[in-house]
Structure 1
């Protein structure tokens, strides 16, 4: 399984990666720091993604919409406010920073669940 982590703080990215690999030891984890890099990774088959909202080149909302359209489970892991997300992403999973490892584990455990967002009428870029 390929797991995408979009996080511009290296320590946090490493922590999320360690939790993912603890639960999914055979996962191929890709860590990127920008929306541009993440959108390229999203063209690959993904099993799961963890997204910070504010990264080096902007907000990850366009990526989240793309993941919704592709039915890839994801969660925002961010210090940003969840209520600032676009309406289409209002139901997306959100883990506030600072987070605990169990929050990440819970998302991994819910892999079979479809993303909770309404991106069907939106154009993801």
Structure 2
């Protein structure tokens, strides 16, 4: 299955506090046929969306204005929703307990984003 096909029709929660980055992710995902849930720029908003929305997968910026998105990841894991983290710090930037989670290294290109989310959805 191609990355475009694997994202088509999927609902992806985007948790990102940088507006430009969130808009870029949203554009890429919608170009690939996905529906974006959010984007959420605050932990509280992300938790509300994680609890109340139908979501196929999520992309979580590790750090939202100094707060870790680990609580959102925990909520998604409890619901059985796959997710990937995005960070510029590599695996050392991942929250404790999530070191083996899929990772999108910032800065990224379109194919990096689609590949990580496609693999996340297939897992």
Coarse TM-score class (shorter-chain normalised): 0.7 to 0.9
Cα pair 2:61 2:86 within 8 Å, conserved = yes
Structure 2 residue 40 is the aligned partner of structure 1 residue 32: yes
CA displacement at 1:2 relative to structure 2: 2.4
1:11 and 1:57 map into 2 onto residues whose CA distance is 18
- Equivalent positions of 1:1-125 (< 5 A) are 1-25=10-34, 27-43=35-51, 44-56=53-65, 58-110=67-119, 111-113=121-123
Distance 1:86 1:12, change over 3 A: closer
Q: Which runs of 5+ in 2 are unaligned?
A: 1-9
Count of aligned residue pairs for this structure pair = 112
CA displacement at 1:29 relative to structure 2: 3.1
Distance 1:102 1:63, change over 3 A: same
The alignment's C-alpha RMSD in Å is 1.7
Q: Give the TM-score normalised by structure 2.
A: 0.80
CA displacement at 1:55 relative to structure 2: 0.6
Distance 1:30 1:9, change over 3 A: same
Cα pair 1:54 1:80 within 8 Å, conserved = no
CA displacement at 1:109 relative to structure 2: 2.2
CA displacement at 1:57 relative to structure 2: 5.9
